[in-house]
Chains A and B, each alone.
Chain A
Amino acid sequence: MNQDVNESLARSFGLSAEEYGRVLSIMGRTPSFTELGVFSVMWSEHCSYKSSRVWLKQLPTKAPWVIHGPGENAGVVDIGDGLAAIFKMESHNHPSFIEPYQGAATGVGGILRDVFTMGARPIANLNALRFGRPENPVTKRVVDGVVRGIGGYGNCVGVPTVGGEINFHPAYDGNPLVNAMTVGIARKDKIFLSAAAGIGNPVVYVGSKTGRDGIHGATMASTEFSADSEDKRPTVQVGDPFTEKLLIEACLELMATDAIVAIQDMGAAGLTSSAVEMAGKGNVGIELDLDQVPARETGMTAYEFMLSESQERMLMVLRPDREQLARDIFAKWDLDFSIIGRITDTGRIVVRHHGIVEADIPLAPLNDQAPLYTRPTVDTPKQEKLNPARIEDRYGLTAALEKLVGCPDLCSRAWVWDQYDSTVGGQTVKRPGAADAAVVKLEGLKRALALTTDCTPRYCLADPETGGAQAVAEAWRNLTAVGARPLAITDNMNFGNPEKPEIMGQFAAAIRGMAAACEALDFPVVSGNVSLYNETEGKAILPTPAIGGLGVLDDAAQAVGLALPPWLDIVLIGATTGWLGQSIWLREIAGREDGAPPPVDLAVERANGDFVRTYILNGTIRACHDVSDGGVLVALAEMAMASGIGARMMAHPRDIPGHAFWFGEDQARYLVAVPDHVSFTRIAEAAGIPAMRLGTSGGQNLTLPDGGTISISTLRAAHERFFPSWMDGVNS
């Protein structure tokens, strides 16, 4: 490539003038075109975390059960029985707007590779999705493509998709969020890391061939969107789940031997980032000969090879005496296997193509002198606490409930789940919708993992610190509500343009809230991903720190779901003040999106949750559902719809207006079904846990204290209508 390398080219690659100056001083000369490409992707926001690193450091990352925290391909926690859970969540937001099917599919593929590259067999996928207004015609196309893409990839690789969440809001109209999470299992003494070692060891490329797809994808993910984003479609990669499946099986087969020294998938920034990171972490050098890279197209340049984001590719450093063994395994699975370089002691990455040195960069400064910004922040102004007595209820409980269970944010997600294979593997104990967290058993053992994703973006917009804490607390609560012991989280920080102080202020505050919650709940962050510049035409998304939570159950048989059994007492755990600020009721029924969000008292959160878990595990609690969006009455309706069993509810305390009691969103609350409320509330009282009997289950209707009655079948019809009628024109 004979293009002149200068500051203006550097800018078009996404580097600032100051950053380009730093490149010049590191190189001591004008970099080559390929070298500039390497710097620009390694120093992109997506790869370098240059705006977020200073804040991420505040998050707690340690606990006795944490084996590897942030910094590896995924987080690793000890789950007992000599096993480790390896998990991470990652965004594929920008590609999923440009090309929803492939964007979402390759998002799933990428996160799977992050997990199996560490030696784990993937056992579950989840995904946290945010879309624009349903009325926006673009939204329908995006939802359809994203759902098909997640299913198309996950179903084919044979990893069950067991959970996730979906929100709609106009703020995502031009910038949907697709956050994919994978959980895998490995023996804890067989974890594979990425630090290269062994001077002279072969560097091996396996998987799909390299094409021109996805070049500069990492840079694209580091800028705002504009009206011409359609033109960026060629930067979206194309997924091949069949090759991914072969890669999983071949890598796991090779990992059962002692051949691998280090391994890393080629994700964002492709061969560049995997080679630079592996050699950098190992404090060695690396030499690559691009003539040996399997190519899908002819005439590719060094720049294109280094920046391609073709999917389903891995880079490994092997023991030289195990080369043939490895070659045979990949031949069996019909995958490309090519020695493309060697580990050196130079501390440099040297890239040759057609015998010419196209790049020769010292690794230490490329990594250590990567830009790091403490960008200015502005705090989000606090909103006032709303007085529920001054918010009139013109709707009544029954009508409001029917409307709420049918609104896009609360309606049944079955239309979506029904397109994801949730049972492959034969270990899914609680499928989507059956419980607050998915429960997946470990093959051949009693032990099970509980998995969830959570975030309430409207709380985060109103008060990012409270919202950050709430997201972590809700994940902890959802794991607790199935009886699991919460262990750790992965975080996927989706925000707008960090160069705007208001956005950076949201980010910093959300981190503060998350850190406090992680600390108080012994629930550290072990992996994560930051996605910034989620803006289109200057309009930012809601701040969305999506949390993926993982917990463990010693015995899968102890897990409880949310389906309401008949003839039990229904007890509300946790204190109720009738908090309507930022509630779904306020938005959907009163047409307002204001007020402070419900506060999160972490000590109360912990006490209430620990109490609930204890009485799930000893068999007292037969069904459990956390109270979140829509408050107590929506939670109750969800329990009733899950089983088809109704309930008769008692009068609420007189000091709280009815609509605020039943639809308010006070935190740290659970609805539980127990055989005997008298003894149960007495135990709770003695433990200092607020517990209030709300009613008794049975029959086929929900009977409310204001005299209103609604049948479960009417609720179900309202609940199940939205997606099929919106997406497929099916009227129920």
Chain B
Amino acid sequence: MKAGIVIFPGINRERDMVIALEASFGVKPKMVWHKDTDVSGLDLIVIPGGFSFGDYLRCGAMAAQSPIMRAVRDHANKGGYVLGVCNGFQILTEAGILPGALLRNASLRFLSMDCHLRVDRADTAFTRHYRQGQTFRSVMAHGDGNYFADTATLDRLEGNNLVALRYATKSGEVTPEVNLNGSARSIAGILSPNLRVLGLMPHPEDLVDPMMGGADGKPLFDALAAA
């Protein structure tokens, strides 16, 4: 599996993503500038976190119009793997590659803290090193992580088993108290119907080394490396 990271102006978690990918893949990912259009040779395209174009419009709205996004869409349509984290998830929804939208956090404040994610779908290339129903710790750092979609879309996501991750307690209960950004049905991450595209708000790439407080995010990258 060969990975590449797309860089938009204002993206700022690409270094974290390089470290996580390199630790699992054994090689550095390729960096792809947003004005490029060529992603040939890549199996996995990662859109990392940050504030693309400052997020001065809607989060991810500008980036979704960048030249590279046509190539990302084609890659996804052909069954290629795509991982969008935080701003990357926002960009995937703005580009229509994943459904729904990310609204301002319910508290109207930026949230930077640990959270626990429950794995609701463990048979994917992203999550198969976790067990179904297990929780793992992750870091959230966003102002706009409140997942929203209309009822029909939410029902379809759940009906087709495309909700990969939900905010939960450490022991796996999904409660309003731990759904800090107010996401619909506590959704933290969703999959495309072919299970090849994952978008999620929290940052598994920031917990891949016990020295930084834990390595709960590492199985996600290990699983991708082995896919």
Contact = CB atoms under 8 A, between A and B. Distances in A.
A334 interface: yes
Interface string A311-332: 0000000000000000000000
Contacts, number: 92
Nearest to A419: B110
Contacts of B10: 156, 242, 245-246
A309 interface: no
Contacts of A148: 109-110
Interface of A: 148, 151-152, 155-158, 240-243, 245-246, 333-334, 417-429, 431, 441, 443, 556-557, 728
B173 to A, nearest CB: 19
A417 B112 contact: yes
B143 A426 contact: no
* 5 smallest beta-carbon distances between A and B, as pairs: A158-B12, A242-B54, A426-B16, A421-B141, A156-B51
Given A245-B10, A422-B112, 12 more contacts: A151-B110, A155-B51, A156-B51, A158-B50, A158-B51, A245-B9, A417-B112, A424-B49, A424-B206, A427-B212, A556-B211, A557-B211
Nearest to B16: A426
A151 B51 CA distance: 13
Contacts of A418: 109-113
15 contacts: A148-B109, A155-B51, A156-B12, A241-B51, A241-B54, A242-B53, A242-B55, A245-B54, A418-B112, A421-B112, A424-B13, A426-B19, A426-B206, A429-B212, A441-B212
Interface string B49-89: 11101111000000000000000000000000000000000
A482 B6 CA distance: 37
A262 B143 CA distance: 38
A242 B205 CA distance: 23
Interface in B186-227: 203, 205-206, 208-209, 211-213
B109 A424 contact: no
A185 B208 CA distance: 23
B9 A333 contact: yes
A65 B1 CA distance: 45
B19 A419 contact: no
A122 to B, nearest CB: 11
B162 to A, nearest CB: 28
A421 B213 contact: no
B15 interface: yes
Contacts of A417: 112
B165 interface: no
A431 B139 CA distance: 12
Contact of A423 (B19, B111, B141): B141
A634 B13 CA distance: 37
B9 A443 contact: no
B51 A428 contact: no
B15 A426 contact: yes
A158 B9 contact: no
B141 A428 contact: no
Given A155-B143, A156-B54, A419-B110, A425 B9 contact: no
A246 B50 CA distance: 12
A425 B16 contact: yes
Nearest to A446: B211
A664 B113 CA distance: 34
